[in-house]
Structure 1
């Protein structure tokens, strides 16, 4: 994907690092000042760029995951949207809390993909620690995936049905706060004001649907998003209105 997005309602990427013992020995060949400046000047090849950032993620894995875990704990304690979503997810599950989304089943890992997170009903939520810019980015990603968890429990949507998938992505991008104007303006360089929220949600939902195996291309993805747009964009449950 052209930007770091959430690949949700699907099993976490098998490339996510789960054990330091299983990692290959770090190849520092590409993690050099020479390659760093080649990337800055635009002269690096795609292979050099990929290997440089992969080596960088290997080196910083422990630091990235530790920071992610610390920010995750802070968000579950202090973030209004994370606390609100957790409360509403808890209301849908059994009294024993077995279906809750909490610190234990939100896992920070290093990922080899460009996505920032993912949700799976059995696994919980995967956060790609090496793709996060800051705590605000983690909050948006976690809120996005928690909207998916809510939809899974409340509406029993099938993520393999493209119409269902499109609706899930529309709702998650609308309600998580990731498409608010300040995030678009300062982070993604989207300068438009008129219909900014709708354009952001359409763009991100279309990218996510297009990445699913059942989708043929971005044309089909855009068509499916348009089909379900009105009902899904205007459905703000569990919020009374769009969270900003």
Structure 2
């Protein structure tokens, strides 16, 4: 579903605006924008305009690709199927009817809402493996919501604990992802540092969080018990 508030690309224009971005859908304009980005001639604002226009243009294809990968993972991924079974044991149901692929204006991979289900940001998901980690992350949130009655809105410690567990157990902090995708090259304590960093980043985006320092403080307060808790898994295996 297109977001009417996002800027629409204007076909046929070859005049760059003051940020260096050139509106347009034709092949020449697309490559001209890419070249401008690669050579450092486009500002950060222009690059954001380019990405927004690209997301709008590719929305249908991105969502189809996301839905195909989603259906495959729900059927064949061991971690997704395991989490599905454990969620069902708690009276919940996560399947293709409430895992939605959508275009997101925010730079995030997905989100969980107890009433809505799981939203996957199709324009942010890079690969099927990235989607598997994202769905697993949000399914761990769903499990925690049912198992622990998480207060998502007013209890910062609950939210921090949920983010620690989801980042630790989903696979998003595996060594290869950190090393090759995010440029985190430390060889020791890599998993723990990734979990802390990503949990604090998620907590800092919540309305009750004052700033990044406050987010790190909340994560530290619940770290020991929440990082050790691997339910419904026996251990961290991804």
Mean CA deviation greater in 38-47 or 143-152: 38-47
Task: Report the Cα distance in structure 2 between the residues aligned to 1:212 and 1:27, rounded to whole angstroms.
Answer: 35
Q: 1:46 to 1:232 in 2, by over 3 A?
A: same
1:191 is aligned, of 181, 185, 192, to 185
In structure 2, stretches of 5+ residues that fail to align are 12-21
* TM-score normalised according to structure 1 size: 0.87
Task: Report the Cα distance in structure 2 between the residues aligned to 1:40 and 1:25, rounded to whole angstroms.
Answer: 23
* TM-score normalised according to structure 2 size: 0.89
- Does residue 64 in structure 1 map to residue 62 in structure 2? yes
- Does residue 91 in structure 1 map to residue 89 in structure 2? yes
- The DSSP-based 3-state class of the residue aligned with 1:229 is helix
Tell me what 1:152 maps to: 145
CA contact (8 A) 2:173 2:191 kept: yes
- The DSSP-based 3-state class of the residue aligned with 2:123 is helix
Deviation of 1:37 (Å): 1.4
Deviation of 1:41 (Å): 1.7
Q: 1:21 to 1:222 in 2, by over 3 A?
A: closer
Deviation of 1:189 (Å): 1.0
CA contact (8 A) 2:108 2:121 kept: yes
Task: Report the Cα distance in structure 1 between the residues aligned to 2:37 and 2:226, rounded to whole angstroms.
Answer: 41
Tell me what 1:139 maps to: 132
- The DSSP-based 3-state class of the residue aligned with 2:171 is coil
Tell me what 1:27 maps to: 10
Deviation of 1:243 (Å): 2.5
- The DSSP-based 3-state class of the residue aligned with 1:126 is strand
Aligned length: 222
Task: Report the Cα distance in structure 2 between the residues aligned to 1:73 and 1:210, rounded to whole angstroms.
Answer: 32
Q: In the TM superposition, what are the counterparts of 1:149-228 in structure 2 within 5 Å?
A: 149-160=142-153, 161-228=155-222
Deviation of 1:24 (Å): 7.3
Q: In the TM superposition, what are the counterparts of 1:98-117 in structure 2 within 5 Å?
A: 99-117=92-110
Deviation of 1:19 (Å): 5.1
- Does residue 54 in structure 1 map to residue 26 in structure 2? no
Which of the pair has more CA radius of gyration?
Answer: 2
CA deviation profile, 1:39-68 (whole Å, cap 9, x unmatched): 112221122111101111111111100000
Larger relative contact order (Cα-Cα within 8 Å, sequence gap ≥ 6): 1
In structure 1, stretches of 5+ residues that fail to align are 1-17, 94-98
Tell me what 2:232 maps to: 238
CA contact (8 A) 1:176 1:243 kept: no
